[in-house]
Amino acid sequence: MQNYKFTISYDGTKYSGWQSQCNTENTIQGKLENVLTRMTASKVEVIGAGRTDAGVHALEMTANAHFVTQMNTAQILEYINNYLPCDICIKDVTIVSPRFHSRYNATGKTYRYTCYTGSTKPIFDRNFVYALGKCPDINKMRDATEYLLGTHDFKCFCGNAKFNKSSIRTIDLITIENKDDRVVFTYHGDGFLQNMVRIITGTLLEVGLGMRSPESVKQTIESKKRSEAGFTAPASGLCLIKVDYS
């Protein structure tokens, strides 16, 4: 039995997130498992590097699965893409060590969040941006990011009220760029809590829109209370860009 590593792109608009759920088959993981089970004629479990929420996209999600097949990697790639929906694509298939685990071996992740600041509707990419309608103060938001960099307890930015594991994470990069009618946030860290990127983005947008000061972010982190952080930015603007491995 071989361990296969997959690099996956998907438009998450119509899916209920990455993770398979007992009450729905409409997930990215579920679609992949169905195709691989069909291909191998045996039950296959796909392990993802993370669990993107409903409506969130990925440029390069990483996953792995153990199974037996007579196909080579090129044939596997062709077969899977032939049967997957048009909004999910396997970009690469490789054989890796039996002990490789896409989630446990990940050392970092990069996320991008995109806001549309134009005055008209973003008709053709409406599923990939948050239509903000105006441009927030970029400099104030950049000032606020200084309080987020480094290792902190990010419990206040977790959307799961029942989360009872360690909420300490390290963020080593946050950039905010104004590109024509887009404001693009890029985050890199060793890992992110449920909804963490979207809540941080919502908090920074509140700073940029004058609803809170940059300095308030420090107090928010220290409070460890979700109620002290900003709103959860819509899923449409978020995309997992890359998963790092050492």
The answer to whether residues 106 and 62 touch, using CB atoms and an 8 Å cutoff, is yes
* All domains of the chain in start order, with CATH: 2-96 (3.30.70.580), 108-245 (3.30.70.660)
The answer to whether residues 151 and 169 touch, using CB atoms and an 8 Å cutoff, is yes
Tens digit of each residue's pLDDT (9 = 90 or more) over 3-20? 999 999 999 999 999 987
Tens digit of each residue's pLDDT (9 = 90 or more) over 147-179? 999 999 999 999 998 898 999 999 999 999 998
Strand partners, 120: none
The alpha carbon torsion through 153, 101, 59, 148 (nearest 10 deg) reads 10
Q: What is the mean pLDDT of the chain?
A: 96
Residue 26 in this model has a pLDDT that exceeds 70: yes
Residue 21 in this model has a pLDDT that exceeds 90: no
> Among all residues, which ones are annotated catalytic?
53
DSSP track, the chain: -EEEEEEEEE--TTSS-SS-BTTB--SHHHHHHHHHHHHHTS----EES--PPTT-EEEEEEEEEEE--SS-HHHHHHHHHHHS-TTEEEEEEEEE-TT--TTTTEEEEEEEEEEE--SS--GGGGGGSEE-SS---HHHHHHHHTTTSEEEE-GGG-S-TT--S--EEEEEEEEEEEETTEEEEEEEES---TTHHHHHHHHHHHHHTTSS-TTHHHHHHHHT-GGGS-----GGGEEEEEEEE-
> What's the first-to-final CA gap in the chain, in angstroms?
24
Residue 72 in this model has a pLDDT that exceeds 80: yes
Q: Predicted confidence band at 192 (pLDDT cuts at 50, 70, 90)? A: very high
Residue 23 in this model has a pLDDT that exceeds 70: no
Using DSSP bridges, classify how beta strands 106-116 and 130-131 pair: parallel, antiparallel or unpaired: parallel
Average pLDDT over residues 37-64: 96
Tens digit of each residue's pLDDT (9 = 90 or more) over 132-149? 989 999 999 999 999 999
Residue 214 in this model has a pLDDT that exceeds 80: yes
Average pLDDT over residues 106-125: 96
What pLDDT, on a 0 to 100 scale, did the predictor assign at position 24? Answer: 61
The answer to whether residues 244 and 107 touch, using CB atoms and an 8 Å cutoff, is yes
What pLDDT, on a 0 to 100 scale, did the predictor assign at position 25? Answer: 73
Q: Predicted confidence band at 56 (pLDDT cuts at 50, 70, 90)? A: very high
The answer to whether residues 107 and 246 touch, using CB atoms and an 8 Å cutoff, is yes
For 170-174, 178-182, 188-192, which range has the lowest pLDDT when averaged over its residues? 178-182
What pTM was computed for the model?
Answer: 0.95
